[in-house]
Structure 1
Amino acid sequence: MKVGLFVPCYIDQFYPSVGIATLQLLEKFGCDVHYPPDQTCCGQPMANSGFASLTHGCNQNFVKNFSGLDYIVAPSGSCVLHIKEHLHDDRNPEAAKEIRSRIFELTEFLTDILKVETVEARFPHRVGLHQSCHGQRMLHLASMSERVLPPFSKAEQLLKGVKGLELVKPARVDECCGFGGTFCVTEEAVSVAMGEDRVSEHEVNNVDYITGGDTSCLMHLEGILRRKKSCIKIIHLAEILAAQ
Protein backbone atom coordinates (compact mmCIF):
# COMPACT_ATOMS: atom_id res chain seq x y z
CA MET A 1 0.00 0.00 0.00
CA LYS A 2 1.10 3.55 -0.75
CA VAL A 3 1.38 5.46 2.55
CA GLY A 4 2.09 9.15 3.00
CA LEU A 5 4.22 9.99 6.03
CA PHE A 6 3.02 13.18 7.72
CA VAL A 7 5.64 14.49 10.14
CA PRO A 8 4.22 17.36 12.25
CA CYS A 9 6.31 20.53 12.40
CA TYR A 10 7.36 20.25 16.05
CA ILE A 11 8.57 16.69 15.47
CA ASP A 12 10.49 17.81 12.39
CA GLN A 13 12.15 20.66 14.31
CA PHE A 14 12.73 19.16 17.76
CA TYR A 15 12.32 15.36 17.66
CA PRO A 16 13.28 14.15 14.15
CA SER A 17 14.14 10.71 15.55
CA VAL A 18 10.38 10.14 16.02
CA GLY A 19 9.77 10.70 12.30
CA ILE A 20 12.65 8.38 11.41
CA ALA A 21 11.34 5.65 13.72
CA THR A 22 7.87 5.97 12.18
CA LEU A 23 9.33 5.56 8.70
CA GLN A 24 11.28 2.49 9.80
CA LEU A 25 8.18 0.90 11.32
CA LEU A 26 6.02 1.47 8.25
CA GLU A 27 8.69 0.09 5.93
CA LYS A 28 9.22 -2.88 8.24
CA PHE A 29 5.60 -3.88 7.71
CA GLY A 30 5.78 -3.59 3.94
CA CYS A 31 4.39 -0.12 3.30
CA ASP A 32 5.52 1.89 0.27
CA VAL A 33 6.20 5.11 2.19
CA HIS A 34 6.17 8.54 0.54
CA TYR A 35 7.38 11.66 2.33
CA PRO A 36 6.23 14.84 0.55
CA PRO A 37 9.14 17.28 1.11
CA ASP A 38 6.93 20.37 0.78
CA GLN A 39 4.65 19.50 3.70
CA THR A 40 4.36 22.07 6.49
CA CYS A 41 2.34 22.66 9.66
CA CYS A 42 -1.23 21.31 9.48
CA GLY A 43 -2.60 24.54 10.97
CA GLN A 44 -3.56 23.15 14.36
CA PRO A 45 -1.89 25.94 16.44
CA MET A 46 -3.94 28.59 14.62
CA ALA A 47 -7.18 26.64 14.99
CA ASN A 48 -6.50 26.06 18.70
CA SER A 49 -6.08 29.82 19.13
CA GLY A 50 -9.39 30.61 17.44
CA PHE A 51 -8.01 31.46 14.01
CA ALA A 52 -9.16 28.45 11.99
CA SER A 53 -10.24 30.86 9.24
CA LEU A 54 -6.59 31.68 8.60
CA THR A 55 -5.51 28.08 7.88
CA HIS A 56 -6.48 28.06 4.19
CA GLY A 57 -2.86 28.03 3.05
CA CYS A 58 -2.04 25.09 5.34
CA ASN A 59 -5.11 23.21 4.14
CA GLN A 60 -4.39 23.73 0.45
CA ASN A 61 -0.77 22.70 0.90
CA PHE A 62 -1.77 19.56 2.80
CA VAL A 63 -4.23 18.53 0.09
CA LYS A 64 -1.62 19.17 -2.60
CA ASN A 65 0.98 17.04 -0.82
CA PHE A 66 -1.15 14.11 0.37
CA SER A 67 -3.70 13.52 -2.39
CA GLY A 68 -3.69 10.22 -4.27
CA LEU A 69 -2.34 8.04 -1.45
CA ASP A 70 -3.94 4.94 0.04
CA TYR A 71 -3.34 6.19 3.58
CA ILE A 72 -1.65 9.02 5.49
CA VAL A 73 0.01 8.21 8.82
CA ALA A 74 1.41 10.50 11.51
CA PRO A 75 3.00 9.89 14.93
CA SER A 76 0.78 12.54 16.53
CA GLY A 77 -2.82 12.06 17.61
CA SER A 78 -3.58 15.77 17.96
CA CYS A 79 -2.42 16.64 14.42
CA VAL A 80 -4.31 13.67 12.97
CA LEU A 81 -7.46 14.76 14.78
CA HIS A 82 -7.06 18.31 13.47
CA ILE A 83 -6.91 17.05 9.88
CA LYS A 84 -9.87 14.71 10.42
CA GLU A 85 -12.04 17.50 11.82
CA HIS A 86 -10.86 20.65 10.06
CA LEU A 87 -9.20 19.92 6.70
CA HIS A 88 -11.07 21.59 3.88
CA ASP A 89 -10.17 23.04 0.50
CA ASP A 90 -12.75 24.97 -1.50
CA ARG A 91 -10.79 24.29 -4.69
CA ASN A 92 -10.55 20.52 -4.07
CA PRO A 93 -13.34 19.58 -1.62
CA GLU A 94 -13.47 15.91 -2.65
CA ALA A 95 -9.70 15.49 -2.24
CA ALA A 96 -9.90 17.02 1.25
CA LYS A 97 -12.81 14.73 2.15
CA GLU A 98 -10.86 11.69 0.97
CA ILE A 99 -7.82 12.66 3.05
CA ARG A 100 -9.95 13.16 6.17
CA SER A 101 -11.12 9.54 5.88
CA ARG A 102 -7.66 8.11 5.17
CA ILE A 103 -5.42 9.72 7.79
CA PHE A 104 -4.48 7.66 10.84
CA GLU A 105 -2.46 7.99 14.03
CA LEU A 106 0.46 5.53 14.03
CA THR A 107 -0.74 3.01 16.64
CA GLU A 108 -4.24 3.08 15.15
CA PHE A 109 -2.81 2.33 11.70
CA LEU A 110 -0.64 -0.52 12.99
CA THR A 111 -3.43 -2.23 14.93
CA ASP A 112 -6.52 -1.48 12.84
CA ILE A 113 -5.24 -1.31 9.26
CA LEU A 114 -2.08 -3.44 9.20
CA LYS A 115 -3.46 -5.78 11.92
CA VAL A 116 -0.04 -5.96 13.60
CA GLU A 117 0.04 -8.41 16.51
CA THR A 118 3.73 -8.23 17.38
CA VAL A 119 6.41 -5.73 16.41
CA GLU A 120 9.49 -7.87 17.15
CA ALA A 121 11.10 -5.05 19.13
CA ARG A 122 13.30 -5.12 22.23
CA PHE A 123 13.41 -2.43 24.92
CA PRO A 124 14.56 -3.77 28.32
CA HIS A 125 13.34 -0.93 30.54
CA ARG A 126 10.61 -0.06 33.02
CA VAL A 127 8.19 2.19 31.11
CA GLY A 128 5.22 4.36 32.11
CA LEU A 129 2.53 5.02 29.49
CA HIS A 130 0.89 8.43 29.05
CA GLN A 131 -2.47 8.37 27.26
CA SER A 132 -2.91 11.69 25.48
CA CYS A 133 -6.33 13.34 25.54
CA HIS A 134 -6.75 13.83 21.78
CA GLY A 135 -5.91 10.21 21.04
CA GLN A 136 -7.96 8.73 23.83
CA ARG A 137 -11.10 10.84 23.87
CA MET A 138 -11.39 11.86 20.23
CA LEU A 139 -9.61 9.17 18.19
CA HIS A 140 -10.63 6.39 20.61
CA LEU A 141 -7.15 4.91 20.85
CA ALA A 142 -7.86 3.81 24.43
CA SER A 143 -10.84 3.39 26.76
CA MET A 144 -11.93 6.17 29.10
CA SER A 145 -12.19 5.45 32.83
CA GLU A 146 -15.48 7.34 33.21
CA ARG A 147 -17.25 4.99 30.77
CA VAL A 148 -18.35 1.51 31.83
CA LEU A 149 -16.78 -0.35 28.92
CA PRO A 150 -14.18 -3.11 28.60
CA PRO A 151 -10.74 -1.44 28.98
CA PHE A 152 -8.48 -1.28 25.93
CA SER A 153 -5.42 0.59 24.69
CA LYS A 154 -3.94 0.24 21.23
CA ALA A 155 -0.59 1.55 22.47
CA GLU A 156 -0.58 -0.92 25.35
CA GLN A 157 -1.51 -3.73 22.97
CA LEU A 158 1.62 -3.04 20.92
CA LEU A 159 3.92 -2.39 23.89
CA LYS A 160 3.03 -5.73 25.48
CA GLY A 161 4.77 -7.46 22.59
CA VAL A 162 8.07 -5.63 23.11
CA LYS A 163 10.69 -7.96 24.59
CA GLY A 164 12.12 -6.91 27.96
CA LEU A 165 9.72 -3.99 28.41
CA GLU A 166 8.00 -3.73 31.80
CA LEU A 167 4.90 -1.57 31.41
CA VAL A 168 3.78 0.26 34.56
CA LYS A 169 0.52 2.21 34.68
CA PRO A 170 0.00 5.38 36.75
CA ALA A 171 -2.84 5.35 39.26
CA ARG A 172 -4.93 7.72 37.10
CA VAL A 173 -4.39 6.26 33.65
CA ASP A 174 -6.20 8.86 31.58
CA GLU A 175 -5.57 12.19 33.29
CA CYS A 176 -4.44 15.16 31.16
CA CYS A 177 -0.78 16.18 31.42
CA GLY A 178 -1.67 19.87 31.12
CA PHE A 179 -0.08 20.58 27.75
CA GLY A 180 -3.31 21.21 25.85
CA GLY A 181 -1.77 23.01 22.87
CA THR A 182 -1.91 26.77 23.46
CA PHE A 183 -3.36 26.15 26.96
CA CYS A 184 0.19 25.63 28.25
CA VAL A 185 0.99 29.17 27.10
CA THR A 186 -2.17 31.00 28.18
CA GLU A 187 -2.50 29.12 31.50
CA GLU A 188 1.13 28.35 32.26
CA ALA A 189 0.80 27.86 36.04
CA VAL A 190 -2.15 25.47 35.78
CA SER A 191 -0.45 23.59 32.96
CA VAL A 192 2.73 23.09 34.97
CA ALA A 193 0.79 21.96 38.06
CA MET A 194 -1.03 19.35 35.99
CA GLY A 195 2.23 18.17 34.46
CA GLU A 196 3.86 17.87 37.85
CA ASP A 197 0.97 15.69 39.02
CA ARG A 198 1.47 13.40 36.04
CA VAL A 199 5.22 13.19 36.58
CA SER A 200 4.83 12.42 40.30
CA GLU A 201 2.76 9.30 39.58
CA HIS A 202 5.41 7.98 37.21
CA GLU A 203 8.12 8.77 39.75
CA VAL A 204 6.30 6.71 42.37
CA ASN A 205 6.36 3.81 39.92
CA ASN A 206 10.13 4.21 39.54
CA VAL A 207 10.05 4.11 35.74
CA ASP A 208 13.04 4.60 33.45
CA TYR A 209 11.00 6.15 30.64
CA ILE A 210 7.63 7.77 30.01
CA THR A 211 6.20 7.03 26.57
CA GLY A 212 3.17 8.14 24.62
CA GLY A 213 1.82 8.79 21.15
CA ASP A 214 1.98 12.59 21.19
CA THR A 215 5.40 14.23 21.27
CA SER A 216 3.75 17.49 22.33
CA CYS A 217 2.62 15.96 25.64
CA LEU A 218 5.97 14.22 26.08
CA MET A 219 7.78 17.52 25.42
CA HIS A 220 5.74 19.16 28.19
CA LEU A 221 6.56 16.36 30.62
CA GLU A 222 10.21 16.40 29.58
CA GLY A 223 10.49 20.08 30.49
CA ILE A 224 9.18 19.35 33.98
CA LEU A 225 11.49 16.34 34.38
CA ARG A 226 14.54 18.39 33.34
CA ARG A 227 13.75 21.18 35.78
CA LYS A 228 13.46 18.60 38.54
CA LYS A 229 16.77 17.07 37.39
CA SER A 230 14.97 13.73 37.20
CA CYS A 231 16.62 10.62 35.76
CA ILE A 232 13.38 9.68 33.95
CA LYS A 233 13.52 10.12 30.17
CA ILE A 234 10.77 10.53 27.61
CA ILE A 235 10.51 8.46 24.44
CA HIS A 236 7.85 8.27 21.73
CA LEU A 237 6.03 4.99 21.16
CA ALA A 238 7.44 4.79 17.63
CA GLU A 239 10.99 4.80 18.97
CA ILE A 240 10.24 1.89 21.32
CA LEU A 241 8.41 -0.11 18.66
CA ALA A 242 11.32 0.37 16.25
CA ALA A 243 14.00 -0.49 18.83
CA GLN A 244 16.14 -3.59 18.28
Structure 2
Amino acid sequence: MRLVSSIAYKWALAVADKFNSNHKWKRFYYYWIRLILGTLLKMSIIFGIAYLLDVFWPTFYCAVTYGIVKIISGGMHYRPLGRSILLSVMLFITMGVVADTFNYIYKPFDDTLTKGPFIYTWVMFIFSALCAIVFVPVKVKHKVSFWNFRKWIYKILTIAFVGYAMYYSLQLLNLENAEEVINVHMPRVISVWTAIAFELATSIPFVYYGVTRLNQILNYK
Protein backbone atom coordinates (compact mmCIF):
# COMPACT_ATOMS: atom_id res chain seq x y z
CA MET A 1 0.00 0.00 0.00
CA ARG A 2 3.05 2.27 0.13
CA LEU A 3 2.84 2.78 -3.62
CA VAL A 4 -0.82 3.77 -3.30
CA SER A 5 0.03 6.20 -0.48
CA SER A 6 2.84 7.72 -2.54
CA ILE A 7 0.62 8.19 -5.59
CA ALA A 8 -2.21 9.59 -3.46
CA TYR A 9 0.18 12.05 -1.81
CA LYS A 10 1.47 13.33 -5.15
CA TRP A 11 -2.04 13.69 -6.55
CA ALA A 12 -3.20 15.44 -3.40
CA LEU A 13 -0.32 17.92 -3.72
CA ALA A 14 -1.18 18.52 -7.37
CA VAL A 15 -4.86 19.14 -6.56
CA ALA A 16 -3.99 21.38 -3.62
CA ASP A 17 -1.58 23.44 -5.75
CA LYS A 18 -4.14 23.76 -8.52
CA PHE A 19 -6.80 25.13 -6.16
CA ASN A 20 -4.33 26.89 -3.86
CA SER A 21 -5.67 24.91 -0.89
CA ASN A 22 -4.35 24.99 2.66
CA HIS A 23 -2.88 22.06 4.60
CA LYS A 24 -6.26 20.97 5.96
CA TRP A 25 -7.68 20.57 2.48
CA LYS A 26 -4.49 18.84 1.36
CA ARG A 27 -5.00 16.20 4.02
CA PHE A 28 -8.64 15.90 2.90
CA TYR A 29 -7.60 15.29 -0.72
CA TYR A 30 -4.97 12.78 0.34
CA TYR A 31 -7.40 10.80 2.51
CA TRP A 32 -10.05 10.39 -0.18
CA ILE A 33 -7.64 9.79 -3.06
CA ARG A 34 -5.84 7.13 -1.03
CA LEU A 35 -9.16 5.57 -0.02
CA ILE A 36 -10.43 5.40 -3.60
CA LEU A 37 -7.17 4.06 -5.03
CA GLY A 38 -6.81 1.54 -2.23
CA THR A 39 -10.36 0.31 -2.71
CA LEU A 40 -9.92 -0.02 -6.47
CA LEU A 41 -6.69 -1.94 -5.98
CA LYS A 42 -8.19 -4.31 -3.42
CA MET A 43 -11.33 -5.00 -5.42
CA SER A 44 -9.31 -5.54 -8.60
CA ILE A 45 -7.23 -8.18 -6.83
CA ILE A 46 -10.30 -9.77 -5.24
CA PHE A 47 -12.34 -9.92 -8.45
CA GLY A 48 -9.30 -11.12 -10.39
CA ILE A 49 -8.85 -14.05 -8.02
CA ALA A 50 -12.61 -14.66 -8.01
CA TYR A 51 -12.58 -14.81 -11.81
CA LEU A 52 -9.74 -17.34 -11.79
CA LEU A 53 -11.65 -19.46 -9.26
CA ASP A 54 -14.84 -19.14 -11.34
CA VAL A 55 -16.76 -17.45 -8.51
CA PHE A 56 -16.79 -13.93 -9.92
CA TRP A 57 -20.52 -13.20 -9.74
CA PRO A 58 -21.13 -14.71 -6.28
CA THR A 59 -18.16 -12.71 -4.99
CA PHE A 60 -19.43 -9.56 -6.71
CA TYR A 61 -22.92 -9.87 -5.18
CA CYS A 62 -21.38 -10.62 -1.78
CA ALA A 63 -19.03 -7.64 -1.97
CA VAL A 64 -21.77 -5.17 -2.89
CA THR A 65 -24.15 -6.46 -0.21
CA TYR A 66 -21.42 -6.59 2.42
CA GLY A 67 -20.50 -2.96 1.73
CA ILE A 68 -24.12 -1.78 2.02
CA VAL A 69 -24.75 -3.65 5.28
CA LYS A 70 -21.43 -2.46 6.71
CA ILE A 71 -22.45 1.16 6.20
CA ILE A 72 -26.02 0.98 7.49
CA SER A 73 -25.03 -1.13 10.51
CA GLY A 74 -22.44 1.38 11.69
CA GLY A 75 -19.51 -0.53 10.30
CA MET A 76 -17.84 2.68 9.18
CA HIS A 77 -17.16 3.55 12.83
CA TYR A 78 -15.12 0.52 13.84
CA ARG A 79 -11.78 -0.75 12.63
CA PRO A 80 -12.19 -1.45 8.89
CA LEU A 81 -11.78 -5.06 7.82
CA GLY A 82 -10.51 -3.96 4.44
CA ARG A 83 -7.35 -2.21 5.66
CA SER A 84 -5.36 -5.30 4.80
CA ILE A 85 -5.55 -6.54 1.23
CA LEU A 86 -4.83 -10.06 2.42
CA LEU A 87 -7.71 -9.98 4.90
CA SER A 88 -10.05 -8.54 2.26
CA VAL A 89 -9.13 -11.30 -0.18
CA MET A 90 -9.68 -13.95 2.50
CA LEU A 91 -13.04 -12.46 3.46
CA PHE A 92 -14.63 -11.84 0.06
CA ILE A 93 -13.27 -14.93 -1.68
CA THR A 94 -14.51 -17.06 1.23
CA MET A 95 -17.97 -15.53 0.90
CA GLY A 96 -17.96 -16.08 -2.85
CA VAL A 97 -16.89 -19.71 -2.53
CA VAL A 98 -19.46 -20.39 0.22
CA ALA A 99 -22.27 -18.83 -1.84
CA ASP A 100 -21.24 -20.67 -5.00
CA THR A 101 -20.97 -23.99 -3.13
CA PHE A 102 -24.45 -23.75 -1.65
CA ASN A 103 -25.84 -22.68 -5.01
CA TYR A 104 -24.29 -25.79 -6.56
CA ILE A 105 -25.71 -27.99 -3.81
CA TYR A 106 -29.21 -26.57 -4.10
CA LYS A 107 -29.35 -26.47 -7.90
CA PRO A 108 -31.39 -29.53 -8.80
CA PHE A 109 -30.54 -31.58 -11.85
CA ASP A 110 -34.20 -32.08 -12.73
CA ASP A 111 -34.90 -28.33 -12.78
CA THR A 112 -37.30 -28.63 -9.86
CA LEU A 113 -36.58 -26.12 -7.08
CA THR A 114 -35.94 -27.87 -3.77
CA LYS A 115 -36.48 -26.55 -0.24
CA GLY A 116 -32.75 -25.98 0.18
CA PRO A 117 -32.66 -22.29 -0.83
CA PHE A 118 -35.60 -21.51 1.44
CA ILE A 119 -33.97 -23.25 4.40
CA TYR A 120 -30.69 -21.43 3.75
CA THR A 121 -32.46 -18.10 3.47
CA TRP A 122 -34.49 -18.60 6.64
CA VAL A 123 -31.48 -19.73 8.68
CA MET A 124 -29.42 -16.74 7.53
CA PHE A 125 -32.37 -14.42 8.13
CA ILE A 126 -32.91 -15.60 11.71
CA PHE A 127 -29.19 -15.40 12.49
CA SER A 128 -28.87 -11.94 10.90
CA ALA A 129 -32.01 -10.62 12.61
CA LEU A 130 -30.75 -11.77 16.01
CA CYS A 131 -27.37 -10.12 15.40
CA ALA A 132 -29.11 -6.91 14.31
CA ILE A 133 -31.37 -6.85 17.36
CA VAL A 134 -28.81 -7.85 19.99
CA PHE A 135 -25.34 -6.77 18.80
CA VAL A 136 -25.64 -4.03 16.15
CA PRO A 137 -23.89 -1.65 16.20
CA VAL A 138 -20.50 -2.72 17.49
CA LYS A 139 -19.55 -1.01 20.76
CA VAL A 140 -16.67 1.16 19.65
CA LYS A 141 -13.93 2.12 22.09
CA HIS A 142 -13.16 5.50 20.59
CA LYS A 143 -15.46 8.49 20.96
CA VAL A 144 -18.08 9.03 18.27
CA SER A 145 -20.23 12.17 18.20
CA PHE A 146 -23.89 11.61 19.20
CA TRP A 147 -23.23 7.88 19.61
CA ASN A 148 -26.22 7.19 21.88
CA PHE A 149 -28.54 8.55 19.19
CA ARG A 150 -26.73 7.17 16.17
CA LYS A 151 -26.53 3.61 17.49
CA TRP A 152 -30.34 3.37 17.40
CA ILE A 153 -30.37 4.68 13.84
CA TYR A 154 -27.89 1.97 12.82
CA LYS A 155 -29.91 -0.73 14.57
CA ILE A 156 -33.21 0.36 13.02
CA LEU A 157 -31.70 0.64 9.54
CA THR A 158 -30.11 -2.79 9.83
CA ILE A 159 -33.29 -4.46 11.06
CA ALA A 160 -35.29 -2.78 8.28
CA PHE A 161 -32.76 -3.86 5.64
CA VAL A 162 -32.72 -7.46 6.88
CA GLY A 163 -36.52 -7.54 6.90
CA TYR A 164 -36.82 -6.10 3.40
CA ALA A 165 -34.12 -8.43 2.07
CA MET A 166 -36.07 -11.40 3.43
CA TYR A 167 -39.33 -10.21 1.91
CA TYR A 168 -37.74 -9.57 -1.49
CA SER A 169 -35.83 -12.88 -1.41
CA LEU A 170 -39.01 -14.86 -0.83
CA GLN A 171 -40.69 -13.01 -3.67
CA LEU A 172 -37.89 -14.02 -6.03
CA LEU A 173 -37.74 -17.65 -4.88
CA ASN A 174 -41.51 -18.03 -5.26
CA LEU A 175 -41.70 -16.91 -8.89
CA GLU A 176 -43.50 -19.33 -11.18
CA ASN A 177 -40.70 -19.52 -13.75
CA ALA A 178 -38.57 -22.25 -12.14
CA GLU A 179 -35.76 -21.98 -14.69
CA GLU A 180 -35.40 -18.25 -14.08
CA VAL A 181 -35.43 -18.79 -10.32
CA ILE A 182 -32.76 -21.51 -10.47
CA ASN A 183 -30.40 -19.85 -12.94
CA VAL A 184 -30.81 -16.16 -12.05
CA HIS A 185 -32.46 -15.39 -8.73
CA MET A 186 -31.31 -18.26 -6.53
CA PRO A 187 -27.56 -17.50 -6.93
CA ARG A 188 -28.20 -13.84 -6.11
CA VAL A 189 -30.36 -14.61 -3.08
CA ILE A 190 -27.81 -17.06 -1.66
CA SER A 191 -24.96 -14.58 -2.25
CA VAL A 192 -26.86 -11.71 -0.63
CA TRP A 193 -27.67 -13.71 2.51
CA THR A 194 -24.16 -15.06 2.75
CA ALA A 195 -22.83 -11.50 2.78
CA ILE A 196 -25.44 -10.23 5.25
CA ALA A 197 -24.68 -13.05 7.68
CA PHE A 198 -20.91 -12.63 7.35
CA GLU A 199 -21.04 -8.88 7.97
CA LEU A 200 -23.47 -8.98 10.89
CA ALA A 201 -21.50 -11.83 12.47
CA THR A 202 -18.67 -9.34 13.02
CA SER A 203 -20.95 -7.42 15.39
CA ILE A 204 -20.77 -10.35 17.85
CA PRO A 205 -18.19 -9.23 20.45
CA PHE A 206 -15.84 -12.23 20.34
CA VAL A 207 -15.96 -12.37 16.52
CA TYR A 208 -15.27 -8.63 16.30
CA TYR A 209 -12.35 -8.98 18.71
CA GLY A 210 -10.92 -11.90 16.75
CA VAL A 211 -11.18 -10.13 13.40
CA THR A 212 -9.64 -6.97 14.86
CA ARG A 213 -6.69 -8.94 16.24
CA LEU A 214 -6.23 -10.70 12.89
CA ASN A 215 -6.32 -7.33 11.14
CA GLN A 216 -3.61 -6.04 13.48
CA ILE A 217 -1.43 -9.10 12.85
CA LEU A 218 -1.79 -8.81 9.08
CA ASN A 219 -0.84 -5.12 9.32
CA TYR A 220 2.14 -5.89 11.53
CA LYS A 221 0.82 -3.79 14.40
Q: TM-score by structure 1 length?
A: 0.25
Structure index of larger Rg: 2
Query: In proportion to residue count, which structure has more helix?
Result: 2
TM-score, scaled to structure 2: 0.27
